[in-house]
Amino acid sequence: MGRIVVGVDGSEPSLKALRWAMGQAALSGDTVEAVIVWEFSATAWTTMMPGVPPEFDPEPLARQALDDALAKTLDAETAAGIERQVVEGHAAQVLVDRSEGATLLVVGDRGHSTFAATLLGSVSLHVTQHSKSPVVVVRGETAA
């Protein structure tokens, strides 16, 4: 039995990737590890805003976002069986690191921070080039 790693950021493409990974796991018998990544440097500006406490910690927000994404996408019993990883770092590099020893790495074609006109987001492009395991990029809807 292997491990399928799936990047989840709450965007619709990442939820499609999660559904695809679950389908593949059902066929292969692999476990699924859902990974959400937060980067403090990207949120450090909030500590300079009035009313935001200096001890602001984005990790609980990321954990909640992952829990919400799993609850939105999967039934409660299935979601309870998913291994969850909440990791600080750069999303692309964290996913590449998590791909070590994995059967498969699954990502959506773009996440929250990608320009809609691109074919692949920066994270999906990076992991296809550097992953230590095979990669599946689940495409979203395409323009007519």
Reported as a single tens digit per residue, the pLDDT across 34-66 is 999 988 654 555 555 666 666 777 889 999 999
pLDDT at residue number 98: 98
Can you tell me the mean pLDDT for 68-89?
95
pTM for the structure as a whole: 0.84
CA nearest 124: which of 83, 92, 82? 92
pLDDT at residue number 109: 87
Strands 83-88 and 31-38: parallel
Is 60 exceeded by the pLDDT of residue 100?
A: yes
Can you tell me the mean pLDDT for 81-96?
94
Rounded to an integer, what distance in angstroms lies between the CA atom of residue 15 and that of residue 38? 17
pLDDT at residue number 143: 55
Question: What is the pLDDT of the chain when averaged over all its residues?
Answer: 85
Answer yes or no: are the C-beta atoms of 100 and 90 closer than 8 Å: no
Q: Which residues contact 130 (CB under 8 A, 6 or more apart)?
A: 92, 96
